[in-house]
Amino acid sequence: MIKSDMAMTSMTALTGPDPAPSPHVVIVGGGFGGLEVARGLAGQRVRVTIVDRHNFHTFLPLLYQVATAMLEPAEVAYPIRTVFGKADNVRFRHGQVRHVDHERQVVVLGDDTEIAYDHLVIATGATAAFFGIPGASQHAIPLYSLADARRLRNRLLSSLEHADAVADTAPLGLNFVIVGGGPTGVETSGALSELIKTVIKRDGLRLDPTRVRIILVDMAPRLLTPFPEKASAYALKELERMGVEVEFGRSVVEVEEHAIRFADGERLRVAAVIWAAGVTATGTLATDVQADAGPGGRVRVSPSLQILDRPHEWAVGDAAAIPNPDGGYYPQLAPVAMQSGRHVAAQIVRQGEGKPPLPFKFHNKGIMATIGRHAAVATLPKGPTVKGTLGWIAWLGLHLWYLVGFRNKLRVMINWTWRYFDWPSGPRLIVADAETAD
């Protein structure tokens, strides 16, 4: 075990010898926020250790393309060690933090290893919010990890193969229900529609397309509620053109293994329930860090993103309840996570220089969502809403820009280009261990 009575310890076992003592920054989580903190501290006079139970960073916005057989898992993931291969002061520790001892300033890993810190950054992200709905966490499939995406891809392709196998004796109707009309729900619905049409046409499945229903349900009165109404209307029109049934004002009361129940009493048999109804930090390390958690289990922070009453502990991204000067809190979105990560890195450097931390300012650069090929919406702050092909091209370019790793950028660009001219191609593989992968 690695223990220290003082936070300013050498940490030789994890980080190697240091020529001079320097503050140790422990970042818990290798998502968007955590990576930006580490990037901002690379080359600074601090030692950085990133702790994550996965040794790779996952580009969450493209998980739905893995689930719908458009991309391979390796194309949206990148080794964390490789990201910081040239940063001598940044190290990665594979493991899961189960507890934070604030008095001693150490994090405790699952194997009881203790890592001392001078600064702690909570960047643990969020998980799917099931709102206590019976059966939802057991039977619905969210999209917040590579394992989720592989599991959903398995379920979708297996359902189609089973329907083909019994086509002569007991023709099946397949119902796929997506819960949640935000960007994830909209993008997954559109991609699923294109996948099913591709599989039936290209792979010769004996399945009547009219017997396959894709149903997107949401309690809200419109899709993409953070977007302007005209963007929501465009998304609805495009999804309906693609054969997706969109139902507003519907709430789910139970999810069974092969069925879903709605508040109005309807029980519908389903091949899969895809959960895109929101996220929560409840159940993550955030709840261990602070007893009086903020909305959605998030860590309450000051305007400078310091955890309340702990000037050397910080929280970023989805794990943090970041106060918005205009009221409420900033949304749990990748741009907020990235900008908050950069901000915390800068404030840690400022503290090392004896300067007070500055408040976080989020610069809204717009939001976007894709519905299908040549169909996307992009809304700029105080600007126009771009729709159709132009919005789709903007969406492609932005996601390529933020994808981690040149290799992944190149592979995804090549695959998108190839599939643009040969749409049916794609990794339609049923992987046996995907249902149980972590």
What distances in angstroms separate CA 433 from CA 97, 265, 327, one per listed residue? 26, 35, 45
Question: 408-418 burial, b for 16+ CB within 10 Å, e for fewer?
Answer: bbebbeebeee
Per the structure block, which two tokens stand in for 293?
Answer: 């958690």
* Catalytic residue list contains 187: yes
Q: Are 58 and 80 in contact (CB under 8 A)?
A: no
Name every residue whose Cβ is closer than 8 Å to that of residue 221 and which is 6 or more positions away in sequence: 248, 249
Rounded CA-CA distance 8/4 in Å is 8
Catalytic option among 187, 194, 238, 313: 187
Quote the distance between the C-alpha of residue 242 and its chain's center: 25
Could you identify the residue written with the tokens 């397949």? 174
3-state secondary structure the chain: CCCCCCCCCCCHHHHCCCCCCCCEEEEECCCHHHHHHHHHHCCCCCEEEEEECCCEEECHHHHHHHHCCCCCHHHCEEEHHHHCCCCCCEEEEECCEEEEECCCCEEEECCCCEEECCEEEECCCCEECCCCCCCHHHHCECCCCHHHHHHHHHHHHHHHHHHHHCCCCCCCCEEEEEECCCHHHHHHHHHHHHHHHHHHHHCCCCCCHHHEEEEEEECCCCCCCCCCHHHHHHHHHHHHHCCEEEEECCCEEEECCCEEEECCCCEEECCEEEECCCEECCCCCHHHHCCCCCHHHCEEECCCCEECCCCCEEECHHHEECECCCCCECCCCHHHHHHHHHHHHHHHHHHHCCCCCCCCCCCCCCEEEEEECCEEEEECCCCCEEEHHHHHHHHHHHHHHHCCCHHHHHHHHHHHHHHHHCCCCCCCCCCCCCCCCC
Residues annotated as catalytic (active site), given as ranges: 187
